[in-house]
């Protein structure tokens, strides 16, 4: 048996070398190779990466590094399949837009017509709203976590649709704001099935994968089923590599598996533009915008209906999409005008492999960039400000939707943007109230203190929409004050989730049997910051008598999820029913 396993491993290794290819000049090839060497991808018998670069529609570089299965020392090849995670939405958007160009539906059709779980939803939601990220429907990943699900738990499409059916009120009127929500693509997968009369899996295989020739690509509907040539998912905990596979069965937003060979075919397919396909590509490239015409201009870039974000990288327009699920990560970075595409698929659970495609572009497209790799702060014209003027900006600032608390502080005669005690960035004064953040790379980040709003701070990143922060004085409570004001039981009636709130060491502890403890420290008199990503901040509400009657969970993915304060007897009675 050992001999057979060794022979298999040797054969796969030889195949890997045979499948690796590069038409780049040797000097450039070595520079790209070094990206993976420096990133630790070439370490023996460790999780790895499959990577490709297309230039002018042709493969310029295609190599795989590391192990698909470290227990059996099976190498990654160009045929190894990975979960594309959120990059699955790239295909889902293509599929629904294909149905639209075939006149089987429209961008403005009300989704509630097809999906019964939305029958009680308070507003019309269009397909356009789902693609734009402007539906006002809560993100299922956050809802699942609040319900006590772990990322590695087995949960299904049906579970997500059940959660969707609980939401009656939109987070905002659809079409009037943006909110990141994976639920949009679960609903799009359902729509594809309802409109086509086929399952999502069948439709994708018959209308996209097979016609393009993507033989290694499939939709995973059963998490426990064993599929051939799928990379095992890993992550590193305390320097130990452990299995980290996601067991969810979510469709539309996740669970399309593919290889680097097939993703090359996909990108080649997208580069053609004839007949009906040309109409699909035009829709894919259309910028997402609200009913009032406002473009979705986020820190990530401008979102398109095809789910790629567009922004300028060192002065050159680029687009990208990234995904992460369990230990599988995917990314596609493009420089459309230079006809450059970089695709990365990996299984090491680091969460972001897209830098490989960007750095490779810096090497290969070196002469195309109009801005340097790093900002030369010595060439920036600065404004000399006294320590007294700098100290006027000092204080704590709060971003409610981003759930961020940041400190502005003078350290060693320099104003700094403080994330924590070990992470602070210098702010270079450009004027009396505008600063540029000193960063290591080419990012241009500005901090503005509006003259007409002395208690505000504005965060600007690379021309994206401004993020407002509000200045606050941290609130300190005694244990008695916390207990008297906030202790008790709180329930979200739609999802039937109950948390108890108690006091410990000048902090609030929210707990239930599924989620465990979440520790909250006061930010303001009614706002508390927690230590769990899915409920990172809560905002308490009081009645006219000053008594706390409940709290909201507020963030970009969940807006105003209400937990009402109730007495213990009513909770126990409901639990026994």
DSSP-derived secondary structure for 251-278: -SSS-EEE-HHHHHHHHHHHT---HHHH
Q: Spell out the SS3 assignment of 341-386.
A: EEEEEECCCCCCCCHHHHHHHHHHCHHHCCCCCCCCHHHCCCCCCC
d(CA 127, CA 195): 12
pTM comes to 0.91
d(CA 324, CA 346): 10
According to DSSP, residue 163 is labeled H
Q: Which residues 6+ apart lie within 8 Å of 184 measured at CB? A: 129, 130, 131, 133, 135, 137, 253
- Which of 3.40.710.10, 3.30.420.40, 3.40.30.10, 3.40.50.720 is the CATH number of 83-368? 3.40.710.10
State how far the alpha carbon of 481 is from the alpha carbons of 425, 487, 502, 503, in Å.
36, 10, 12, 9
Q: How many helices (H) and strands (E) does the chain have?
A: 15, 32
pLDDT at 387: 95
State how far the alpha carbon of 508 is from the alpha carbons of 156, 401, 467, in Å.
33, 21, 28
pLDDT at 496: 85
According to DSSP, residue 126 is labeled B
List the chain residues with pLDDT less than 70: 1-19, 569-577
134 closest CA partner among 170, 177, 164, 171: 177
Question: Beta-carbon neighbour count of residue 212 at 10 Å?
Answer: 15
Residues in the chain: 577
The angle that helices 355-364 and 26-38 make with each other, rounded to 10 degrees, is 150
Give the start-to-end residue ranges of the domains of the chain: 83-368, 377-472, 479-576
The angle that helices 183-196 and 88-101 make with each other, rounded to 10 degrees, is 40
Q: Which residues 6+ apart lie within 8 Å of 496 measured at CB? A: none
State how far the alpha carbon of 389 is from the alpha carbons of 72, 297, 383, 428, in Å.
63, 32, 12, 13
pLDDT at 469: 96
pLDDT at 201: 98
d(CA 319, CA 302): 9
Fold match, 377-472 / 479-576: yes
Domain 377-472 has CATH 2.60.200: no
Say if CB 403 and CB 553 are below 8 A apart. no
Say if CB 506 and CB 520 are below 8 A apart. no
**At the topology level of CATH, where does 479-576 sit?**
Lipocalin (2.40.128)
pLDDT at 570: 60
């Amino acid at each position: 048996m050992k001999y057979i396993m060794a022979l298999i491993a040797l054969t796969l290794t030889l195949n890997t070398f045979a499948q690796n290819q590069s038409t780049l000049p040797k000097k450039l090839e070595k520079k790209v190779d070094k990206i993976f060497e420096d990133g630790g991808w070439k370490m023996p018998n460790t999780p790895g990466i499959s990577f490709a670069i297309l230039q002018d529609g042709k493969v310029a570089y295609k190599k795989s590094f590391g192990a698909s299965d470290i227990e059996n020392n099976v190498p990654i090849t160009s045929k190894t399949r990975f979960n594309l995670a959120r990059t699955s939405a790239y295909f889902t958007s293509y599929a629904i837009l294909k149905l639209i160009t075939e006149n089987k539906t429209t961008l403005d059709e009300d989704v509630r017509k097809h999906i019964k779980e939305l029958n009680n939803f308070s507003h019309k939601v269009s397909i356009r709203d789902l693609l734009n990220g402007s539906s006002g429907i809560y993100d299922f990943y956050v809802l699942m976590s609040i319900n006590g699900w772990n990322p590695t738990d087995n949960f299904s499409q049906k579970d997500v649709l059940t959660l969707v059916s609980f939401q009656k009120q939109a987070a905002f009127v659809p079409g009037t704001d943006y909110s990141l929500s994976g639920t949009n693509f679960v609903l799009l997968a359902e729509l594809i099935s309802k409109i086509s009369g086929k399952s999502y899996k069948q439709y994708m295989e018959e209308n996209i994968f097979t016609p393009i020739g993507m033989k290694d690509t499939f939709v995973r509907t059963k998490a426990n089923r064993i599929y051939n040539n799928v990379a095992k998912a890993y992550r590193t905990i305390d320097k130990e590599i452990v299995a980290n596979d996601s067991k969810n069965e979510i469709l539309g937003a996740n669970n399309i598996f593919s290889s680097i060979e097939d993703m090359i075919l996909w990108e080649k397919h997208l580069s053609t533009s004839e007949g009906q396909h040309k109409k699909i590509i035009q829709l894919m490239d259309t910028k997402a915008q609200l009913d009032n015409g406002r473009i979705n201009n986020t820190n990530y870039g401008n979102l398109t209906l095809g789910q790629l974000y567009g922004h300028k990288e060192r002065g050159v327009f680029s687009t990208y999409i990234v995904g992460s699920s369990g230990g599988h990560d995917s990314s596609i970075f493009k420089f459309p005008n230079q006809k450059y595409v970089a695709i990365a698929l990996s299984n090491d659970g680091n969460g972001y492999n897209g830098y490989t495609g960007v750095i490779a572009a810096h090497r290969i497209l070196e002469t195309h960039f109009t801005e340097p790799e790093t900002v030369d702060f010595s060439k920036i014209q600065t404004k000399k400000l006294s320590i007294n003027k700098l100290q006027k900006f000092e204080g704590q600032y709060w971003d409610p939707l981003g759930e961020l608390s940041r400190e502005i502080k003078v350290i060693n005669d320099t104003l700094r943007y403080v994330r924590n005690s070990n992470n602070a960035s210098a702010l270079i004064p450009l004027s009396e109230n505008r600063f540029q953040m000193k960063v290591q790379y080419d990012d241009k980040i500005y901090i503005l203190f509006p003259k007409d709003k002395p208690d505000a701070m504005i965060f600007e990143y690379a021309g994206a929409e401004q993020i407002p922060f509000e200045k606050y004085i941290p609130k300190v409570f005694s244990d008695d004050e916390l207990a008297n004001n906030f202790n008790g039981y709180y329930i979200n009636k739609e999802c039937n989730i109950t948390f108890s709130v108690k006091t410990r060491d000048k902090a609030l502890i929210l707990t239930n049997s599924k989620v465990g403890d979440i520790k909250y420290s006061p930010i303001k008199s009614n706002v508390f910051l927690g230590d769990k990503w899915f409920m990172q901040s809560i905002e308490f509400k009081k009645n006219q008598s000053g008594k706390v009657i409940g709290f909201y969970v507020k963030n970009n993915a969940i807006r105003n999820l209400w937990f009402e304060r109730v007495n213990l007897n009513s909770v126990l009675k409901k639990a026994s029913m």
